[in-house]
A and B are shown apart, each in its own frame.
Chain A
Amino acid sequence: MYFETRDLTVGYHEKPLIKHINIGIPKGGILCLVGPNGSGKSTILRSITRHLTSLGGCAYIDGRDIFRMSSMELARHVSVVLTERVDPELLTCREVIAVGRYPYTGHFGRLSPEDEKIVEESMALVHVAELCDRHFSELSDGQRQRVLLARALCQKPEVIVMDEPTSYLDIRHKIELMNILRDLTSGQGLSVVLSLHEVDLAAKLADEVVLVKDGTILCFGAPEDVLDTQTVSGLYDIHDGMFNMTLGSVELMGAMGEPSVFVVPGEGRGAMCYRVLQKKGTPFATGILQKGSVDYHAASTLAARTFEAPAFGPASEKVLFFARETLKKCACVVDSGTEFGPYNQENLELLILAEANRIPVFSLRETGLLETPSARCFSSAAALAECVSRSIV
């Protein structure tokens, strides 16, 4: 490993918080610490950057012990982007960035032409060249973060340590920052160690993740190997919702109990219906779901009861039987408006069954199906949910 810790112990005031930390990243990789707030991510990062004195163990860059370097030497190997607000009055961005040359300039901090060139390059790498003459205090959060990253780059480090760099950023700036980080690592051979609390970003950004919880390292490895729905729920102690690793999104828990509505899904349109019903607190059954489809994943946390078919195959007779029986007991049926083809004829049959049993069908189609002439059509899912909750009272 290019950067690694061996049996590192970190903590505050001589009190160990996390012991035996063994993590690392090859050159040009991104290592991401993930975990709830207060789990100890920052403590680890602050120990690596020597803002905190480590309580045991070592950390190496390219085989050299970080803890034995002089502070100037360390500054040439490791630079930081911190969470704290920086508020230098009346400094331009270029001046803030140029301060990053500190470990290389002479006693009076005068920049050589070489230093100036590096400042320009750093600004170009994170796309802040056009901001250079503006005062730092006038910038937006996203721009500030990029300027601080340019400052860190100016230090010509081998490893950049970033503590929650996405905290104040909106989604557009998060994406921008992640793309810049990927460019820097794969293009410039820089290694990045950062902490994030958004596990979905970590999965998409990092080469290696470290899961930190309550002062312990839960696991360390490639996000594709270690991150799954169960692990993430455990990491954050999620009980009233579910983080779905496949979709990379959070789903709240749906209402449980005897279903009074039956949703006929397909094409991911079911997920939208589930969410509006979840907001009304209405327990519902849904089927037939193709395993692995978007609706299938959404239903796994939202539906009170699901009826599933294997991917690309027909549902078993038993599943179909229970689906029909459940539907017959429901107060109404929601038709999510999917197309019908050779592989989801069972779902069309369920709608016909509802029609035959005089169960009201609420449909999200523009024009109703020939098979369900009495269905009411809605153009908005919210209006449909409103109607559903009236009909089940």
Chain B
Amino acid sequence: MKQHTRNTVGFLVLLGLLAVMFYVNVNSGSVHLSIVQVFHLLGNGNDGSLEGNILWKIRLPRLLGTAVMGGGLSIAGFLLQTFFKNPIAGPFVLGISSGSRLFVGFFMLVSSPFFAGLYSPYTIFAAAFVGALAAMGLVLLVSGKVRNLSMLLVIGMMIGYICDAGTNFMVTFAENNQLRNFTLWSMGSFSGITWATLGASTLIILPTSLLVLTLSKPLSAYLLGENYAKSMGVNVKRFRVILVILSSILSACVTAFAGPVSFVGIAVPHITRMLFKTSRPEVLIPATFLSGSVFCLLSDLIARTAFAPVELTISTVTSVLGAPVVIWLMIKRKREQA
């Protein structure tokens, strides 16, 4: 198949899947909404009925938030894989999500009495961003010494464990009422998304993802390696800093509003590459975003409905779907080296 046709077909398939996912997600749950009802409610706004409240207050923000955050998280993974030239890099395995969790934990559990008035989606995001940068900094510091594919993963996991130890320490000594909120959050779920957090995450993720798209040109030069990129006029030092900051913003934003979500960052960019059979960033970036949305909507659907009325955490589902992708990647990699 010609690459051009493949791209068109790929995007059409993704958009189709996204539409299907939207519809199924809107509809699944204890109350059934017909398609006519859905369009009626969408057109006329919340009419105060039970259906209206369910659609506008619960399902719609959750659905849109899941789509936006799934996309953002996947782009974060894509950037980290480019940055480390490592197919198994992602915000969760590198400990970046755990870093965010630690700082959000500190913010919610320890310092909240002092900042009670500052409690907003943006301050939680700020805490998560600082945590993400700190963890990323640590990973960079250590990974400079080892240039090995699997070592990077081990380092990321260790940093993740250290951050989790810190978080658990705070949890042990936290007061009960704060603990409940934090525990709910840190299990990871898209259930807590409100219009406020949806607004904040959209305002953060969409512009950041667009910014990533404008970096397509240096990203494609970077595919040939840093030295080639430099020889073509890419300011490599600045570009690396931009990559770190953008990927931290994206993963911190998702962690702030949905808790740590595992494996989406690794699995989705690879599934997208397989689907489109290209590495061209200008195709992959929007495609990865869409795939991430579809992937997370599907995962959230499973989390909500598989054992209804009990809801699973989102990572339970994404791990089951995503971890095999990582194992497959490792095996494929090994085979190529042999």
Q: What residues make up the interface of A, taking CB atoms closer than 8 Å to B?
A: 49-51, 70-72, 74-75, 78-80, 82, 84, 86, 88-92, 95-96, 99-100, 102-103, 105, 107-109, 151, 155
Contact = CB atoms under 8 A, between A and B. Distances in A.
Contacts of A49: 231
Contacts of B3: 92
Contact of B224 (A72, A99, A105): A99
Interface in B85-105: 87
Given A71-B235, A75-B232, A80-B231, 10 more contacts: A70-B233, A86-B225, A88-B279, A90-B278, A91-B223, A91-B278, A91-B279, A102-B234, A107-B217, A108-B214
Name the residue in A74, A80, A99 with the highest tally of chain B Cβ atoms < 10 Å from its Cβ: A99
B224 A108 contact: no
A91 B222 CA distance: 12
20 contacts: A71-B233, A80-B228, A84-B225, A86-B225, A88-B279, A89-B279, A90-B273, A90-B279, A91-B223, A91-B278, A92-B3, A95-B220, A99-B220, A99-B221, A99-B224, A99-B228, A103-B233, A105-B217, A108-B214, A109-B282
Contacts of B181: none
Interface centre among B228, B277, B279, B282 (most CB of A within 10 A): B228
Interface in B223-259: 223-225, 227-228, 230-235
Contact of B221 (A78, A80, A89, A102): A102
Contact of B232 (A70, A91, A92, A99): A99
A109 B220 contact: yes
B280 interface: yes
Interface residues of B, number: 24
A71 B230 contact: yes
Contacts, number: 75
Contacts of B278: 90-91
A74 B214 CA distance: 23
B216 interface: yes
A89 B273 contact: yes
A102 B220 CA distance: 9
A154 to B, nearest CB: 10
Interface string B197-231: 00000000000000000101100110111011011
Contacts of A84: 225, 227
Given A89-B279, A99-B220, A108-B214, A74 B233 contact: yes
Interface of B: 3, 87, 214, 216-217, 220-221, 223-225, 227-228, 230-235, 273, 277-280, 282
Counting from the closest, the 3 A-B pairs by CB-CB distance are A109-B217, A75-B233, A102-B232
Contacts of B277: 90
A194 to B, nearest CB: 15
Contacts of B220: 95, 99, 109
Contacts of A108: 214, 216-217, 282
A82 B217 contact: no
Nearest to A161: B231
Contacts of B223: 88, 91, 99
Contacts of A50: 230
Instruction: Tell which of B230, B232, B282 has the most Cβ of chain A within 10 Å.
Output: B232
A12 to B, nearest CB: 15
A88 B224 contact: yes
Contacts of A151: 224
Nearest to B236: A71
A151 B277 CA distance: 21
Contacts of B273: 89-90
B217 A51 contact: no
Contacts of A82: 225, 227-228, 231
Most A CB atoms within 10 A — which of B220, B234, B235, B282?
A: B220
A90 B224 CA distance: 12
B224 A86 contact: yes
A100 B228 CA distance: 9
A90 B280 CA distance: 8
Given A91-B223, A109-B217, A103 B232 contact: yes
B280 to A, nearest CB: 7
Contacts of B217: 102, 105, 107-109
A89 B86 CA distance: 11
Nearest to B85: A87
A162 to B, nearest CB: 12
Contacts of A92: 3
A96 B224 contact: yes
B207 to A, nearest CB: 17
A90 B81 CA distance: 14
Contacts of B214: 107-108
Given A90-B273, A95-B280, A109 B216 contact: yes
Contacts of A80: 227-228, 231
B231 A51 contact: yes
Nearest to A96: B224
A86 B221 CA distance: 12
A70 B3 CA distance: 35
A78 B87 CA distance: 31
A155 B232 contact: yes
A308 to B, nearest CB: 53
B325 to A, nearest CB: 15
B250 to A, nearest CB: 21
Contacts of B224: 86, 88, 96, 99, 151
Nearest to A90: B279
A99 B221 CA distance: 6
A71 B231 CA distance: 8
Contacts of A72: 233
A51 to B, nearest CB: 6
Contacts of B216: 108-109
A108 B280 CA distance: 12
A74 B234 CA distance: 11
A81 B232 CA distance: 11
A51 B227 contact: yes
